[in-house]
Amino acid sequence: MLQVSVFDEIGRIDPREWDACAGSCCDSERPRDPFTTHRFLHSLEQSNSVGPDSGWIPKHLVATDRGVPFAVMPLYVKLHSQGEYVFDHGWAHAFERAGGQYYPKLQATVPFTPATGRRFLTLPGREADGMATLAAAAVKLASNNALSSLHVTFCTESEAGSGEKLGFLRRSGEQFHWINNGYGDFEEFLSVLSSRKRNNIRKERRKANAFGGVIRALTGTDIEPRHWDFFWQFYQDTGSRKWGRPYLARRFFDEIHEKMRKDLLLVLCERDGRPIAGALNFIGQQTLYGRYWGCLESHPCLHFEACYYRAIEFAINAGLQRVEAGAQGPHKLARGYMPTTVHSLHWIADPNFREAVSEYLDLESREIDSEIAYLSSISPFKKS
């Protein structure tokens, strides 16, 4: 009685049915994960940030039991490896040097979003059979269309463990997350740091707030349409320097303004009444996700203040458990963000290539574990 359907547009899927599986079935509450909501993924498609021209072609899966959806998966055919943050360029080059064709491939993820979350989205109580059904359907889709591989990136640790049992290769990565240990305010957080780190953060905050303006943290209706005109300039500046070109279209920010303002934290740095820098965050039930930063003027430590310290303050005040500040960044360690393992799953069609990738992942995993252990040993927190 189980069936799996493939949808080229998430707009063809009932938002209530999708969000029931994603854990976001009530508009009055924060979503478990803002990025797997129907409204976020729909905003990407409506703005043409994803689609054939971007190399992200939607092929979303919906599994039904007697006609009722019980599991869904955000899935894309990828024509390149851009915007993923779990980099497999080396795999692609090796496979193609050996005479294979790596692209297109399948990618189960949220485009341009290196944030951990469920990728096998199921109704409560259907986690095991829902994941097995979606995994089998995605592998079959890749196999039937002669695609080289299937990649499930930034999945949860639980999904990574279950995926291994289903025959996927497991990969580890590293990010830096801030953990809220019940702090009453920012000063209480500083009190558990070593004196040198504590004093350095206070010094950075003084420098940042002396830029000649004010910093405002906006959510909900405090965010105005005009703010996105400024933020688009910030985003373009950062995108052109980091990626060569921005991934998101201008319309995307109008879409999330309309659909997701209550799930957004926009930190704006203003001078003479005009925003000159800003950071965009998404708010989940337990986590604040830092996503984009940009500026029109360069000021000492303003990036640290807008992206890291204001995020920590908001998380403490809102009772959130953690802040995920995005990919990369060992410099975050000195600011209280600790190394954390992130996970992905990979299915490789060619058996010889699969064996080579498996051997590589064994070596990489040991290196990641060693680096996290070392960085944890030199944390900024007081030694007990």
- pLDDT, the chain, mean: 96
Give yes or no for a cis peptide into 104 (omega within 30° of 0): yes
Tell me the β-bridge partners of 293: 279
Could you read off the pLDDT of 316-347 as tens digits, one per residue? 999 999 999 988 788 999 999 999 999 999 99
pTM: 0.96
* Angle subtended by helix axes 250-260 and 225-242, to nearest 10: 130
pLDDT in tens, 183-228: 999 999 999 999 999 999 999 999 999 999 999 999 999 999 999 9
> Are the beta carbons of 79 and 57 closer than 8 angstroms?
yes
Is pLDDT above 90 for 281?
yes
Helix (H) or strand (E) holding 374: helix 351-377
